[in-house]
Amino acid sequence: MTMNNTNNATRKAIPSYIRKATLMATCLAIATISPAKAFQQPQKQKFTASPKTASSISSDIASPPIFPRNIQNYIPNVDSGTNPTQQPQSQHEEQPGVITTNDSSLSLVDKVMNSYLGPRILLASVACFYGTNFPLGSIMDHALPASAASSGRFLLAGLALSPFLAQIKKEYIGMSVLAGCFTATGYVAQSLALVDTPAATVSFLGAASVIWCPLLEAFVDKKPMSVKDRPQTWLAGILCIMGVGVLELCGGAVEGSGGIGMGDALALLQAICFSTGIFIAEKMVHKHPDQALPVTSVMVATTALVSMIWALTDGWMGTPGWESMTLPGLFMDPAMHEVAGAVVWTGIMSTSLSFFLENFSLQNVPPAEATVILSTEPLWAAGFASILLGESFGMNDYVGGGLMLAACMANSLKPKHFQALMRQRAEEDDDKALER
């Protein structure tokens, strides 16, 4: 895959895409102004309240579904001495740990979020927003030093999530900062990789996180990692290695010759750092699910601090015209307005707002299904890279990218799925043996 230089026509077209995407994100933001009601159930549907779970920076999700999946939960209990045609008198009475609602009290937003498609469409929009980070990050890194682009982006994101900082538990501050340091390193590696590596390649290589988190669980948590215990992890690892090999060794890494360049190594480093940060964060949120957004806000604030330190020590300050590279200068210099739009989008929309929307929509989507939806992020990144940057794709990109996506989806499977497949295969072999 090769990346064409951004010409003037393409650069002028960027603001229109940003304005359209901003309008779409604004509509989604308005749709979440009453999140407390969105978690309520329609009439006659009840469920035992379960805690919130962490929203991930990547597609590694571990939140249990909050909606009942058992049809028995929808059938009202009828006593033996009660006429089955009569409704129980206490139908709308609240019980401990059970939430009941009335259809008449639900707004349009509540009904959409309690529907089947509503939260799934919102989660797909989050994957789309995340996908814009790569091409817009490439635009920023070609117009600004990578440190300036990162500091501006995460300063805005940190300010947007700052209201949640005060809610962090004291015992989690240190671990949240540590997780933020890994996340910051991942974003620094991503910014540097986007300087000379196609945005779609950086995104696809970032999917290598699907095998790093299970490795951390094996070495840190001592979880069993045999093929029998974790077949989905082994399958995901094989697909991931094959995908990286096709992307990097078949002409995708260095134009004109196969091989892994510095940008590709940095793209793999981002996956390792992001996964480690997520691994640490989920340790905290697993014990206290209400700390999901506070922990995320501390991680983003830490990333902003590291990015600002990087910008101060990078050496571009003091050079001629450096004022226009700062966050205020981007808005004051007419020639940098396009870059300013990219900074605002990546900081507010595809970072802070996406974190919130992801945490909000994950309450109503099963974890395996959510993982598959969020694993479409590289596809969105590749599409936006083609539109905004004019990147072209070769056969190795389609095959390698497909293998990376398949690895993400395979990692969402459960061992029981493989066990059922093996039983079916064994039964077929037995039938063939009997026929002989």
Evaluate whether residue 198 is within a structural domain. Answer: yes
Q: What is the pTM of this model?
A: 0.64
Structure tokens at 120: 């799934």
Please list the pLDDT of the chain residue by residue as tens digits (436 residues): 433 443 344 344 444 544 444 444 444 444 433 333 333 444 444 333 344 433 333 333 333 333 333 323 333 333 434 444 444 444 444 443 334 445 556 677 677 778 888 888 888 898 899 889 889 988 898 888 889 999 999 999 999 999 999 999 999 999 999 999 999 999 999 888 888 888 878 888 887 777 787 788 888 888 887 777 778 878 888 888 888 778 766 654 444 445 567 888 898 899 899 889 888 888 888 788 788 889 989 999 999 999 999 999 988 887 888 888 888 888 888 888 889 999 999 999 998 888 888 877 767 776 656 767 877 888 888 888 888 888 877 787 788 888 888 887 787 777 777 777 767 776 777 677 777 6
Compute the distance between CA of residue 65 and CA of residue 56 in angstroms, rounded to an integer: 15
Compute the distance between CA of residue 323 and CA of residue 257 in angstroms, rounded to an integer: 39
Residues 290, 228 contacting (CB under 8 angstroms): no
Q: Quote the domain boundaries for residue 265.
A: 8-36+114-425
Evaluate whether residue 387 is within a structural domain. Answer: yes
| Count of domains forming the chain | 1
Evaluate whether residue 175 is within a structural domain. Answer: yes
Compute the distance between CA of residue 142 and CA of residue 195 in angstroms, rounded to an integer: 6
List Cβ neighbours of 321 (8 Å cut-off, separation of 6 or more): none
pLDDT of residue 368: 58
pLDDT of residue 174: 94
pLDDT of residue 195: 84
List Cβ neighbours of 280 (8 Å cut-off, separation of 6 or more): 175, 178, 179, 182
- CB atoms closer than 10 angstroms to residue 309: 13
Evaluate whether residue 136 is within a structural domain. Answer: yes
Evaluate whether residue 144 is within a structural domain. Answer: yes
Compute the distance between CA of residue 104 and CA of residue 42 in angstroms, rounded to an integer: 9
Evaluate whether residue 254 is within a structural domain. Answer: yes
Evaluate whether residue 104 is within a structural domain. Answer: no
pLDDT of residue 85: 44
- CB atoms closer than 10 angstroms to residue 395: 12
Evaluate whether residue 64 is within a structural domain. Answer: no
Label residue 177 exposed, middle or buried (CB < 10 Å: 0-12, 13-18, 19+): middle
| The 3-state secondary structure of the chain, one letter per residue | CCCCCCCHHHHHHHHHHHHHHHHHHHHHHHCCCCHHHHCCCCCCCCEECCCCCCCCCCCCCCCCCCCCCCHHHHCCCCCCCCCCCCCCCCCCCCCCCEECCCHHHCCHHHHHHCCCHHHHHHHHHHHHHHHHHHHHHHHHHHHCCHHHHHHHHHHHHHHHHHHHHHHCCHHHHHHHHHHHHHHHHHHHHHHHHHHHCCHHHHHHHHCCHHHHHHHHHHHCCCCCCCCCCCHHHHHHHHHHHHHHHHHHHHHHCECCECCCCHHHHHHHHHHHHHHHHHHHHHHHHHHCHHHHHHHHHHHHHHHHHHHHHHHHHCCCCCCCCHHHHCHHHHHHCHHHHHHHHHHHHHHHHHHHHHHHHHHHHHHHCCHHHHHHHHCCHHHHHHHHHHHHHCCCCCHHHHHHHHHHHHHHHHCCCCHHHHHHHHHHHHHHHHHHHHHC
Which residues on neighbouring strands pair with residue 257, listed in sequence order? 254
